[in-house]
C-alpha cells in the first residue's frame, strides 16, 4: 500500500481524516454533539482520565467530528505531529504564540502581518512582558542580524496581509533554526495545498480556516499544525485556555476541505485573468499579486509555491479615498465586506501605511484589495472596467 505522503495533494484532501471508526460507514464523519461522555464503570472513567487525548473523554476535548478535520489538516503537512482547532483564525494565532512565548522573550513579527495579529502583540503580549519587534517582510536571511539573546520566535505571513510581499521562508527558517528560535507562519493565503509550510522549515503553521478551508463564508474556524517538538506545548496551552470548536463548525470545515483543490484552482485562474487585465488599465498604477513579476518577493513565490489563490490588491493611478469609495460602491459583482475565501468576489478599501512600523508603505494611489470568487472572470473584468473607466473619466486616473 502506498504511503499517504506519496499521493497527490488533490487526492489527500479527499481521503485524509476519514477513518472508518469515525465515519461508521458513511462518506462524511457524522456530527457528534457532546458535553458529558458516559462511562460504564468508574474504572473506565479513570482510564479515560489518564489518557484523555486519544479517546472520548469530555466534549471540550473533541469528538470524531473535530478529530477528523484535525487529522486531515495534519495529513496535508508531511512532518507534522498534529493539529489543534480553534473558533477563529485570531484564536489560532493567539494560542500558537502563547504556546512558545513567556515573559522576557522577544518576538520578531513581520511588518506586513494581519492587523489583529499586530493588535494581539500590542494588547496582550506587551502587558505580559513579551516584546515584539517588527521586521521588513523582504529581510530573508538577513533576519539573523536582528536576533538578540532573548529572541524566542519569528512570525511570518507570506504573502503579507494587504500588500502581498512573499517572504523567503526557507532562508528565515534556516537562520532561526541555527539559533534555536521557533518559527511560525500564517499560511492562510496559500493553504497547505499551495505551500506546505512545515516542509519548508516552519515549526508551527496557522490557518484562518474561516477562509479557504470552510470556503463558503458561513463558519468561523482556525487551526495550528505543529512539528513534534512543539505540538505537546501547543495542545497543553489550547486545553488550559479552554479552546474548543463546535462540532457543527468542524463539520463545515471538513465539508469545505474536500473541494479545496478544485476551488483553489478556479480562484487561481480567475484571479490571474483579472490581475493581468488590471495591469493594462490606465486607472491602475500597480497590481500586487504574488504570481506576477511586479510583486515584491515574486521570485520566492515562483520557487516555493505550487500555485496562487484569489486574493490580491491593486493601487489606483492617483485619486483619493473618495474616488476609491465611488469605485467600490459602483461595482455590481463584488461584495463589500471583511474576510474572504468564499465563492463570492469581494472588494475592500485598505490602508497599510498607518499600521506599518518597520517599513514605509508608499503607492501611487489608494489601495483596493480584491478577492476573486468563482464567478466568470469576464463578468468581473467588465464590472471593474466600467468602474475604472469612470475613475479615469473623472480625470484622476491617467497614467503618466
pLDDT by 10s per residue, the chain, length 400? 455 567 888 898 898 888 888 878 889 888 999 999 999 999 999 999 888 887 898 889 999 999 999 999 999 999 999 999 999 999 999 999 999 999 999 999 999 999 999 999 999 999 999 999 999 999 999 999 999 999 999 999 999 999 999 999 999 999 999 999 999 999 999 999 999 999 999 999 999 999 999 999 999 999 999 999 999 999 999 999 999 999 999 999 999 999 999 999 999 999 999 999 999 999 999 999 999 999 999 999 999 999 999 999 999 999 999 999 999 999 999 999 999 999 999 999 999 999 999 998 888 899 999 999 999 999 999 999 999 999 999 876 444 3
The residue out of 228, 258, 288 marking a domain boundary is 258
Quick check: is 211 catalytic?
Answer: yes
- Give yes or no: residues 336 and 281 share one domain: yes
Neighbours of 39 (CB within 10 A): 15
Quick check: is 360 catalytic?
Answer: no
- Give yes or no: residues 219 and 123 share one domain: yes
Neighbours of 2 (CB within 10 A): 7
Total domain count for the chain? Answer: 2
- The answer as to whether 354 is a domain residue is yes
- Choose, from 105, 168, 186, 249, the residue flagged as catalytic: 186
The residue out of 202, 223, 258 marking a domain boundary is 258
- Choose, from 12, 57, 71, 114, the residue flagged as catalytic: 114
Which residues span the domain enclosing 335? 260-393
What sign for the dihedral angle of Cα 339, 343, 214, 7?
negative
In terms of Cβ atoms closer than 10 Å to its own Cβ (0-12, 13-18, 19+), residue 294 is exposed
- Give yes or no: residues 236 and 221 share one domain: yes
Q: Alpha-carbon distance 61 to 386, whole Å?
A: 52
Closest listed residue to residue 84, CA positions, set 250, 255, 269, 248: 250
- The answer as to whether 56 is a domain residue is no
- Please answer whether residues 36 and 59 qualify as being in contact, where contact means their C-beta atoms are separated by less than 8 angstroms: yes
- Give yes or no: residues 235 and 279 share one domain: no
Q: Alpha-carbon distance 63 to 83, whole Å?
A: 14
Q: What is the CATH number of the domain that holds 68?
A: 3.40.640.10
Count helices and strands (H / E) in the chain: 14, 11
* Residue appearing with cell numbers 506519496: 6
Q: Alpha-carbon distance 326 to 185, whole Å?
A: 35
- Choose, from 60, 122, 236, 302, the residue flagged as catalytic: 60
The residue out of 225, 258, 291 marking a domain boundary is 258
- Give yes or no: residues 253 and 283 share one domain: no
- Choose, from 12, 61, 118, 211, the residue flagged as catalytic: 211
- Give yes or no: residues 253 and 373 share one domain: no
Neighbours of 369 (CB within 10 A): 20
Quick check: is 60 catalytic?
Answer: yes
- Give yes or no: residues 164 and 278 share one domain: no
- Give yes or no: residues 139 and 22 share one domain: yes
- Give yes or no: residues 163 and 19 share one domain: yes
CA 380 to each of CA 275, 305, 312, 333, 376: distance values in angstroms, whole numbers, following the listed order: 11, 26, 14, 6, 7
Quick check: is 212 catalytic?
Answer: no
Alpha helices in 191-227 (DSSP H): 191-194
Amino acid at each position: 500500500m502506498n504511503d499517504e505522503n506519496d499521493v497527490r495533494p488533490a487526492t489527500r484532501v479527499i481521503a485524509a481524516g476519514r477513518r472508518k471508526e469515525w465515519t461508521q460507514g458513511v462518506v462524511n464523519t457524522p456530527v457528534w454533539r457532546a458535553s458529558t461522555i458516559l462511562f460504564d464503570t468508574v474504572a473506565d472513567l479513570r482510564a479515560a482520565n489518564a489518557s484523555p487525548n486519544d479517546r472520548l473523554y469530555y466534549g471540550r476535548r473533541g469528538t470524531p467530528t473535530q478529530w477528523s478535520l484535525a487529522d486531515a489538516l495534519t495529513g496535508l503537512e508531511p512532518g507534522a505531529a498534529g493539529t489543534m482547532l480553534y473558533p477563529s483564525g485570531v484564536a489560532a494565532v493567539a494560542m500558537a504564540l502563547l504556546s512558545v512565548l513567556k515573559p522576557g522573550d522577544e518576538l520578531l513579527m513581520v511588518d506586513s502581518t494581519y492587523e489583529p495579529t499586530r493588535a494581539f502583540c500590542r494588547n496582550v503580549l506587551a502587558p505580559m512582558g513579551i516584546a515584539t519587534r517588527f521586521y521588513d517582510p523582504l529581510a530573508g536571511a538577513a533576519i539573523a542580524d536582528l536576533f538578540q539573546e532573548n529572541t524566542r520566535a519569528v512570525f511570518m505571513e507570506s504573502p503579507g496581509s494587504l500588500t502581498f510581499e512573499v517572504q523567503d521562508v526557507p532562508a528565515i527558517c534556516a537562520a532561526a533554526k541555527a539559533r534555536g528560535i521557533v518559527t511560525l507562519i500564517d499560511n492562510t493565503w496559500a493553504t497547505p495545498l499551495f505551500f506546505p509550510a512545515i516542509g519548508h522549515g516552519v515549526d508551527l503553521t496557522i490557518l484562518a480556516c474561516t477562509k479557504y478551508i470552510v470556503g463558503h463564508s458561513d463558519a468561523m474556524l482556525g487551526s495550528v499544525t505543529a512539528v513534534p517538538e512543539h505540538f505537546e506545548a501547543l495542545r497543553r496551552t489550547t486545553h488550559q485556555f479552554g479552546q474548543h470548536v463546535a462540532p457543527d463548525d468542524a463539520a463545515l470545515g471538513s465539508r469545505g476541505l474536500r473541494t479545496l483543490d478544485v476551488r483553489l484552482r478556479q480562484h487561481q485562474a480567475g484571479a490571474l485573468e483579472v490581475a493581468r487585465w488590471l495591469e493594462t488599465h490606465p486607472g491602475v498604477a500597480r497590481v500586487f499579486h504574488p504570481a506576477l513579476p511586479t510583486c515584491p518577493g515574486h521570485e520566492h513565490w515562483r520557487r516555493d509555491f505550487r500555485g496562487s489563490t484569489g486574493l490580491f490588491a491593486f493601487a489606483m493611478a492617483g485619486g483619493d479615498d473618495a474616488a476609491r469609495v465611488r469605485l467600490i460602491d459602483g461595482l455590481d459583482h463584488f461584495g463589500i465586506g471583511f474576510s474572504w475565501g468564499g465563492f463570492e468576489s469581494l472588494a475592500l478599501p485598505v490602508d497599510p501605511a498607518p499600521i506599518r512600523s518597520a517599513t514605509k508603505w508608499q503607492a501611487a494611489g489608494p489601495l483596493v484589495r480584491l478577492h476573486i470568487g468563482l464567478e466568470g472572470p469576464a463578468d468581473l473584468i467588465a464590472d471593474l472596467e466600467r468602474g475604472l473607466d469612470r475613475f479615469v473619466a473623472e480625470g484622476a486616473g491617467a497614467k503618466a
